[in-house]
Structure 1
Amino acid sequence: MKLISWNVNGLRAIMKKNFMEAFHELDADFFCLQETKLQEGQIEMDLPGYYQYWNYAEKKGYSGTAIFTKHQPNHVFYGMNHDLHDQEGRLITLEYDSYYVVTCYTPNSQNELKRLDYRMQWETDFLAYLNTLKAEKSVILCGDLNVAHQTIDLKNWKTNQKNAGFTPQEREKFTVLLENGYIDTFRYFYPEVTGVYSWWSYRFNARRNNAGWRIDYFVVSEDLKPQLSDAKIWTEIMGSDHCPVELDVKL
């Protein structure tokens, strides 16, 4: 089973570039998107063989997630049933007989960390939500989690320790997630690999210089460890400031 996650930074914009080419080339069982930046009815996707699920932010042109899958779920859930967090279209959960697939676009703490307090509340509530799922069956979480966990997960870590995405608070929340029985699949397969990132700023020729961050993940519950096959980061696929990430797992 192949799963792809991609923050497209505006689906309508990337559709004018290479999205469909990449979509067909990757040929995933699950294709999960973050930051679609659209409302219902603003785009029509012709994807034969795929079921489509969308979650839209109330604010126009902001956030948003989608999942395209070849496998019809038993149930679909939007958000985490929490009024504080469910206005921005950040979460979709698909339920199957033995597992859940969750796509998430974690809130950014923003410049001057003005949304860090909210981000910390999100992290606490989201982990509680994930753990309720994990208590029932296996969990596959993917998305832009807006944190580089280790110093090897970004190019310039020394100068970014007070910046959104690499604060001690955000990194600690990711550590707590793993301590709750989850696996960062890329680091499971490649624990010491450096220089492989999933997001690059549009400024300062960051992508050309590979001055990036690894903030897009597949995280799975530990019971799936024997079924993991590989994790990939498709750094050569352009179109967004993020690139797609992949999980191969036997389900």
Structure 2
Amino acid sequence: MPRIISANLNGIRSAHKKGFFDWLAKQDADFICVQELKAQQADMTEEFLAPHGYHGHFHYAAKKGYSGTGVYSRSKPDTVKTGFGCVEFDDEGRYARADVGDLTVISLYCPSGSSSPERQLAKFRFMEAFLPHLQQLQAEGREVVICGDWNIAHKEIDLKNWKSNQKNSGFLPEERAWMTRIFDELGLVDVHRGVNQEAEQYTWWSNRGQAWAKNVGWRIDYHIATPGIAARAHAVSIYKDQRFSDHAPLIIDYAL
């Protein structure tokens, strides 16, 4: 019963201080995809690199204290790749891939466009570059699970205040249409929604105001997968008993 976890750490050192790796030891996960390391290789301790016997592989951003992704796997991967072939975004450390047997697991951190119009344009460039890569992944014929912070709430059910956010990054019509293309045209699957269609399934809360306390959140962390493995998903949970960052870990169990 493979268990795959996606967690935006908002800084691996910060998440460590809040108990993330102690929690991880109890999860019996086969893969853990992490995003927003905010660390360079020199900052990575042995506990960060190989916690509890896991094999860790990471894609660091060129800019210090920024972005970064990683995949931890119980089994040593057959192959590992960092970056998806787009220089602008590979420099930002947004993509780490591990192949184990016939399964590919990818940790992805899509850009956020909320900080400035320039970053929103960068996000649109990422979207344009990443869609063909998704098609290439499918052409490989492997089962693929892409875990991570996609920085887009797909539908109205996926954020608390959808009406007031229709002109804000993360819920723009263009962003939502792009995700719809991933599902409807490419045939990839939003694994969470295949198992659980309930409202208020949020994975991120703003640090402003009382967003966490009032559960004013967004669902922007996903497992997006090829149909074969997506059909094997049978349990989804969002871990909120402890706070390791402004995101909550998304845990999905897949049947063998």
Return the TM-score normalized by structure 1: 0.95
Query: Aligned ranges for residues 1-251 of structure 1 at < 5 Å?
Result: 1-46=2-47, 47-136=51-140, 137-179=142-184, 180-191=186-197, 193-251=198-256
- Contact conserved, 1:198 with 1:244, CA < 8 A, in 2? yes
Q: State the alpha-carbon separation in 1 of the partners of residues 89 and 115 from structure 2.
A: 20
1:163/1:30 Cα in 2 relative to 1: closer, same or farther (>3 Å)?
same
Q: State the alpha-carbon separation in 1 of the partners of residues 131 and 69 from structure 2.
A: 19
Q: State the alpha-carbon separation in 1 of the partners of residues 221 and 9 from structure 2.
A: 12
Which amino acid letter does the alignment assign opposite residue 98 of structure 2? L
Which amino acid letter does the alignment assign opposite residue 186 of structure 1? H
- Aligned residue for 1:48, secondary structure, equals helix
Q: Which runs of 5+ in 2 are unaligned?
A: none
Q: State the alpha-carbon separation in 1 of the partners of residues 170 and 46 from structure 2.
A: 32
Shift of 1:225: 3.6
Shift of 1:43: 2.4
Which amino acid letter does the alignment assign opposite residue 187 of structure 1? R
- Aligned residue for 1:22, secondary structure, equals helix
- Contact conserved, 1:139 with 1:221, CA < 8 A, in 2? yes
Greater shift in the superposed pair: 11-20 or 111-120: 111-120
Which amino acid letter does the alignment assign opposite residue 36 of structure 1? L
Paired residue total? 250
Q: State the alpha-carbon separation in 2 of the partners of residues 160 and 114 from structure 1.
A: 19
Q: State the alpha-carbon separation in 2 of the partners of residues 43 and 184 from structure 1.
A: 32
Shift of 1:94: 1.0
- Contact conserved, 2:25 with 2:52, CA < 8 A, in 1? no
Q: State the alpha-carbon separation in 1 of the partners of residues 15 and 107 from structure 2.
A: 19
Q: Which runs of 5+ in 1 are unaligned?
A: none
- Contact conserved, 1:153 with 1:213, CA < 8 A, in 2? yes
- Contact conserved, 1:32 with 1:67, CA < 8 A, in 2? yes
- Contact conserved, 1:106 with 1:145, CA < 8 A, in 2? yes
Shift of 1:236: 2.6
- Contact conserved, 1:148 with 1:213, CA < 8 A, in 2? yes
The percentage of aligned residue pairs carrying the same residue is 37
Shift of 1:153: 0.5
Shift of 1:91: 0.3
Which amino acid letter does the alignment assign opposite residue 43 of structure 2? Q
Which amino acid letter does the alignment assign opposite residue 60 of structure 1? K
Q: State the alpha-carbon separation in 1 of the partners of residues 241 and 219 from structure 2.
A: 14
Shift of 1:32: 1.1
Greater shift in the superposed pair: 234-243 or 86-95: 234-243
Shift of 1:164: 1.1
Which amino acid letter does the alignment assign opposite residue 202 of structure 2? Y
Return the TM-score normalized by structure 2: 0.93
- Contact conserved, 2:6 with 2:251, CA < 8 A, in 1? yes
- Contact conserved, 1:155 with 1:211, CA < 8 A, in 2? yes
